[in-house]
Structure 1
Amino acid sequence: MAFDLEEQEKIDALRAWWDRWGTPIMSLVTVIMLAFLAWYGWQWYQSNQSRQALGYFEVIQSASVNDDKAAATRVNEASAILQKDYAKTPYTGRAVLLASDFLAKNNQPDAAKAQLEWLIGQAASFPDLVPVARLRMASLLADEEKYDEALLQLANPLESFRAVFLDRTGDVLVAQGKKTEAVQQWKAALELPNLGPEFIRAVQLKLNVLGGE
């Protein structure tokens, strides 16, 4: 098909433009497509990881409710897999807390503490759960009369957990025989803002028992 002069000039200009910009444009398109595919693949991977982690979470949850002789084994195995293969999923932190609670109630304090130690070491992944793990660790250590170690777990809390950490510190100090120091901790807790009425009543009751008012 023959083109007139004007059409031929347009075609030549288009070819020249493509010769100059075609490769960069195709490269950019390729990069965008690869980025999209990578993003889609990552989303699929994350979703798949979460589904797999949920299954192990439910194993621990079920074992905690339907206790039997093999429950502790299932809990330990499921938690170990979550920690090894699904450490970054949101279910893992909660599952580890459940596992620790189950093991503590079934007279396996060392296994319970091992669960909490792992979670405490995952502060970047579970910032909201680590304070809970530290509170539970402090209680387990206090039960073993390891009071200084328990108090270390309660040092430097996040501001949002400060009141409950002060309260638990008071509990540890009472167990240690340091009632005056315990009263100071409870009074400090009551001075903080935004306390729930049940928390206030519980702490005030402890103060009344010790005569600290």
Structure 2
Amino acid sequence: MDAYRTEEEQVEAIKRWWSENGKGVIAAVVIGVLGSVGWQSWQDRQVSQAEAASGIYQELLALSAQELSSDADKVRLDELTATLTEDYAGTGYARLGQLLQVSAWVSQGRAEEALTALQALESSVADDVAMYPIVKLRRARLQASLGDTEQALQALTSLETSAVAAAVWQAKADIYIVQEQYSLAAEALSLALVADENGDLRSDLETKLAFVNARRDSNVSPVASGE
């Protein structure tokens, strides 16, 4: 569950996009629907909402980066997430906050709760082309860690052509490695390297590929190899 660099970059890209373009998108929609009537008041309200949500998210981000050793910190993290979800659902920060909460829950050993939360979030972002593959990938990884590899592999297979394809193939390889299916793992890692166009995961992928190739070769008997 620790190979999330590509996913985290996707999440940060969404955050940056919202910060840079969210107000413009809101403006375009409102101008088309309402024209100029009450525009300034509406815009001020939306900007105020976005700024308040951003402040809460930044506090949540800082808190989630800590070890959360105290019960007070854990409660505060859940409170901040609830505030974003309930009061600022339309700002874009609510879903990012839920992802942070899920990661914190996994670290706290609350994996089953985290899985339930991810499944609910996955349903709610079904129409979000940027968030959906990230949430589904995380859900699949968590399911695999809990032993439900069949459902995890099904979810991952549906994401093989998504924007997070490299991480998807790596996740499949991780499952195959645990199952000692080294040929399948090697194939998945090779496909991950092809999908990793920016080279973000290349070092990890190459290390894992060398490992699975060695394990696969050591399992080939002289008779099977024709020696």
Using structure 1 for the length normalisation, give the TM-score: 0.71
The corresponding residue for 1:174 is 177
Bigger-Rg structure (1/2): 1
The alignment partner of 1:37 has SS state of coil
The alignment partner of 1:159 has SS state of coil
Quick one: distance in 1 between partners of 2:101 and 2:163? 25
Q: Deviations over 1:190-209 (max 9, x none)?
A: 2337241x522321221211
2:131 maps to 1:129:
yes
Quick one: distance in 2 between partners of 1:35 and 1:124? 30
Quick one: distance in 2 between partners of 1:188 and 1:96? 30
Deviation at 1:126, TM superposition (A): 4.7
Quick one: distance in 1 between partners of 2:155 and 2:47? 34
Q: Deviations over 1:87-141 (max 9, x none)?
A: 2212222211111111111111123223323332233675323322222222221
Corresponding pairs, count: 180
In structure 1, runs of 5+ residues without a counterpart are 1-31
The corresponding residue for 2:52 is 52
The alignment partner of 2:124 has SS state of coil
Deviation at 1:70, TM superposition (A): 1.6
Q: Deviations over 1:139-180 (max 9, x none)?
A: 221211111122233132253221221111111222234332
Deviation at 1:181, TM superposition (A): 1.8
Quick one: distance in 1 between partners of 2:208 and 2:162? 22
The alignment partner of 1:44 has SS state of helix
Q: Matched residues, percent identical? A: 24
The corresponding residue for 2:7 is none
Task: Letter of the 1:73 partner, please give it.
Answer: V
Task: Letter of the 2:74 partner, please give it.
Answer: A
CA RMSD of aligned residues (A): 2.7
In structure 2, runs of 5+ residues without a counterpart are 1-31, 218-227
Q: Deviations over 1:30-78 (max 9, x none)?
A: xx9x731343333223222212322432342243245222222222222
Quick one: distance in 1 between partners of 2:110 and 2:153? 21
Verify the 8 A CA contact 2:196 2:202 in the aligned structure 1.
no
Counterpart pick for 1:84 among 83, 86, 92? 86
Task: Letter of the 1:85 partner, please give it.
Answer: D
Using structure 2 for the length normalisation, give the TM-score: 0.67
Q: Closer, same or farther in 2 for the Cα pair 1:124/1:44, shift >3 Å? A: farther
The corresponding residue for 2:164 is 161
The corresponding residue for 1:114 is 116
> RCO higher in 1 or 2 (8 Å CA, sep ≥ 6)?
2
The alignment partner of 2:195 has SS state of coil
Quick one: distance in 1 between partners of 2:156 and 2:105? 22
The corresponding residue for 2:105 is 103
Quick one: distance in 2 between partners of 1:111 and 1:202? 29
The corresponding residue for 1:190 is 193
Quick one: distance in 2 between partners of 1:195 and 1:77? 37
Verify the 8 A CA contact 1:147 1:176 in the aligned structure 2.
no
Verify the 8 A CA contact 1:142 1:175 in the aligned structure 2.
no
Q: Closer, same or farther in 2 for the Cα pair 1:52/1:111, shift >3 Å? A: farther
Task: Letter of the 1:58 partner, please give it.
Answer: Q
Deviates most, 150-159 or 88-97: 150-159
Task: Letter of the 1:115 partner, please give it.
Answer: A
